């Protein structure tokens, strides 16, 4: 298999891909964003399976598939499709009438790609870290799998984020000072987006600072992988506890709230602890200490909790550009996986 050939491969974690492979997807994404030319996947079918709500992922995938002249079949698990079991060897006398082992094999006979949006239960870290729903689909499907966000990664978001960084930095992201800052939120959220952003900046050779309280450190294996990948691509990844220090001279601020591994499975305790940290919200005053940084967030965002209206409504906020790039990046990914 040629290095850039994505056919037959799953797209589940950015950590499975080289900078050159990601570059080949984004090069096509930029062509697709710029040109009106028709890239056709006529006759192909993409099955989109959602275990939880989505605005951007669902619409950008469905519209992207339509623009490629392919067919999308969208299933909301538990509504249009049966609840799915992933545990091996269990007596299935509970709420889930179908096993992923069977569903994945059946859907593989209908679709050319199965794209899955799962959501971690946020109860047991070891279980969520193993990404059981996504791993089951990878294990049992014979069609390639795309991860539309799981407990561990959101690689399509990571692709769009790196595409946006390239636009912000005129295609040279190497050594750019990018800050991923933890931000307040009313409840614990998955680690997928910050993990994929750290890996995306590493693939782009950025100098990434992850600013967070120590209770919110990301998965150490992901940080280690990001550090090794960044080093290969001329960049670096470091952790900073002092948000003000991290912001000084930053060229991009990416805000995101994520859950604490320390409080995992104890949401009431984590929520109480979060209430002591409202000062981590991104404000206009903090943005003024940066090197006129662009503001990024994957959306959805709780205004005046994660970041103020003034930050979000400022001309240096690129969140809608980021959201648009989901469409171009995913179309390019689909074409790389299925196109001729």
Are 261 and 217 within 8 A, CB to CB? yes
Residue 239: φ, ψ to 5°: -110, 140
Q: Beta strands of the chain (E only): which ranges?
A: 45-50, 71-76, 84-85, 98-99, 113-117, 145-147, 177-182, 207-211, 236-240, 252-256, 294-296
Which sign, positive or negative, has the C-alpha torsion 191, 192, 194, 195? positive
Q: Can you read off the two tokens belonging to residue 23?
A: 């570059």
- The nearest distance, CB 264 to ligand CP, in angstroms, is 21
Answer left, alpha or beta for residue 78, where phi above 0 means left and psi between -120 and 50 means alpha. Answer: left
Looking at the Cβ atoms of 85 and 149, the one nearer to ligand CP is 149
298 binds ligand CP (CB under 6 A): yes
149 binds ligand CP (CB under 6 A): yes
Are 255 and 295 within 8 A, CB to CB? yes
54 binds ligand CP (CB under 6 A): yes
Name the one range near ligand CP by CB under 6 A: 2-10, 162-170, 183-191, 295-303.
Answer: 295-303
299 binds ligand CP (CB under 6 A): yes
- The nearest distance, CB 54 to ligand CP, in angstroms, is 3
181 binds ligand CP (CB under 6 A): no
Which one of residues 4, 55, 186, 231 is an interface residue with ligand CP (CB under 6 A)?
A: 55
The C-alpha atoms of residue 19 and residue 233 are separated, in whole angstroms, by: 8
- The nearest distance, CB 174 to ligand CP, in angstroms, is 26
118 binds ligand CP (CB under 6 A): no
Which one of residues 118, 157, 196, 290 is an interface residue with ligand CP (CB under 6 A)?
A: 157
Residues at the site binding ligand CP, with contacts judged by CB under 6 A: 54-57, 149, 157, 298-300
């Amino acid at each position: 298999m040629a290095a850039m050939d994505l056919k037959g491969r799953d797209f589940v974690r950015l950590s499975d891909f080289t900078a050159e492979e990601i570059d080949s997807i984004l090069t096509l994404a930029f062509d697709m964003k710029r040109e009106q030319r028709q890239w056709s996947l006529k006759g192909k079918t993409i099955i989109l399976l959602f275990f939880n709500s989505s605005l951007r992922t669902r619409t950008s995938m469905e519209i992207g598939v339509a623009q490629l002249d392919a067919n999308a079949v969208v299933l909301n698990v538990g509504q249009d499709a049966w609840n799915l079991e992933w545990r091996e060897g269990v007596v299935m006398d509970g709420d889930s009438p179908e096993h992923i082992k069977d569903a994945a094999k059946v859907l593989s006979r209908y679709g050319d790609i199965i794209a899955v949006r799962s959501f971690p239960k946020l109860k047991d870290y070891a279980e969520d870290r193993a990404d059981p729903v996504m791993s089951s689909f990878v294990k049992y499907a014979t069609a390639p799998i795309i991860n539309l966000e799981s407990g561990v990664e959101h690689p399509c978001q990571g692709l769009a984020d790196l595409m946006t960084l390239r636009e912000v930095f005129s295609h040279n992201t190497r050594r750019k000072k990018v800050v991923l800052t933890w931000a307040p939120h009313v409840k614990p959220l998955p680690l997928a987006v910050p993990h994929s952003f750290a890996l995306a900046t590493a693939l782009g050779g950025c100098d990434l600072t992850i600013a967070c309280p120590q209770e919110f450190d990301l998965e150490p294996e992901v940080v280690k992988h990001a550090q090794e990948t960044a080093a290969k691509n001329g960049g670096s990844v470091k952790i900073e506890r002092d948000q003000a220090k991290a912001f000084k001279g930053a060229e991009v601020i990416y805000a995101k709230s994520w859950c604490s591994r320390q409080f995992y499975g104890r949401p009431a305790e984590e929520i109480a602890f979060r209430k002591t940290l409202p000062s981590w919200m991104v404000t206009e005053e903090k943005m003024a200490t940066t090197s006129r940084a662009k503001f990024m967030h994957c959306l959805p965002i709780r205004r005046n909790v994660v970041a103020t209206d003034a930050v979000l409504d400022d001309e240096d906020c690129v969140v809608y550009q980021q959201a648009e790039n989901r469409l171009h990046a995913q179309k390019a990914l689909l074409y790389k996986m299925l196109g001729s």
